[in-house]
Chain A
Amino acid sequence: DAGVIQSPRHEVTEMGQEVTLRCKPISGHDYLFWYRQTMMRGLELLIYFNNNVPIDDSGMPEDRFSAKMPNASFSTLKIQPSEPRDSAVYFCASSLGVRGREAFFGQGTRLTVV
């Protein structure tokens, strides 16, 4: 398997624009997680899905953020409108089960909002 695939790897956008980040989890995995990484706050869990259903979105910072998982092989994280403080690296991860299982991470999308 190719692992968790995220696109794009880098995104530079202007403040106010809509940004969509994409993730393809490992085939067969039933959990998908979106994280945001910044120097100040470290790794923050934004939202996670189980079998394509959002389970906990308490980490989503504002209504400007939304995430979907229309099927088992694809998820999106959308920011609309984007702001400079959204600049961060966004990671997607997937796992088969939870608790003692390994979460596999994508290489991340580095978002810069200018």
Chain B
Amino acid sequence: GNSVTQMEGPVTLSEEAFLTINCTYTATGYPSLFWYVQYPGEGLQLLLKATKADDKGSNKGFEATYRKETTSFHLEKGSVQVSDSAVYFCALWGSNYKLTFGKGTLLTVNP
């Protein structure tokens, strides 16, 4: 079946530091890939997505590139802010019509 593996947290950074959260996947066919963000006490919100190989999703300074050769979709941001503190989930939508999530990575950004 489909699966998503993302780096274990928590990740703690200082403001303006560079962020990378690794995500790799296993899926048949050509899945769509997503990053969702969850702020405390809230539901998940879509951060960015990519629907085919070599696509780059971007939003609010975050970026991720769909790499089929390495089955990866790593999330990056050049300069994090305190307001980016949240849990980040990598996800894929596969041919079985299921949206499968990784376990999430807690990011804390200190001023």
In terms of DSSP, what is the predominant structure of the interface of chain A?
strand
Q: Are A42 and B43 in contact (CB under 8 A)?
A: no
Q: Provide the residues of chain B in CB contact with A107, threshold 8 Å.
A: 41-43
B25 proximal to A (CB < 8 A): no
Contact B97 A103 (CB under 8 A): no
Interface residues contributed by chain A, number (CB under 8 Å): 24
Q: Mark A74-104, 1 if CB is under 8 A from B, else 0.
A: 0000000000000000010100001111111
Cβ of B22 < 8 Å from any Cβ of A? no
How far is A104 from B43 in the complex, measured between Cα atoms in Å? 9
Q: Known contacts being A91-B44, A105-B44, A106-B43, is A48 close to B97, with CB within 8 Å?
A: yes
- B43 pairs with A100, CB closer than 8 A: no
Contacts of B75-91 to chain A: CB distance below 8 A: 89
Chain A proximity mask over B16-46: 1 for CB below 8 Å, otherwise 0: 0000000000000001101010000111111
Task: Name the contact of A108 in the complex, choosing from B36, B43, B99, B101 (C-beta under 8 A).
Answer: B43
**Are A4 and B43 in contact, CB atoms less than 8 angstroms apart?**
yes
Report Cα–Cα, A99/B109, bound state, in Å: 32
- Candidate in A31, A91, A105 with the most chain B CB atoms within 10 angstroms: A105
Chain B residues with CB under 8 A of A103: 46, 99
The 4 A-B pairs of least Cβ separation, nearest first, read: A105-B43, A42-B103, A100-B51, A43-B101
A-B contact pairs, 20 of them (CB 8 A): A33-B99, A35-B101, A42-B101, A43-B89, A43-B103, A43-B104, A45-B100, A56-B96, A56-B98, A91-B44, A93-B44, A93-B99, A99-B32, A100-B49, A100-B93, A103-B46, A103-B99, A105-B44, A107-B42, A107-B43
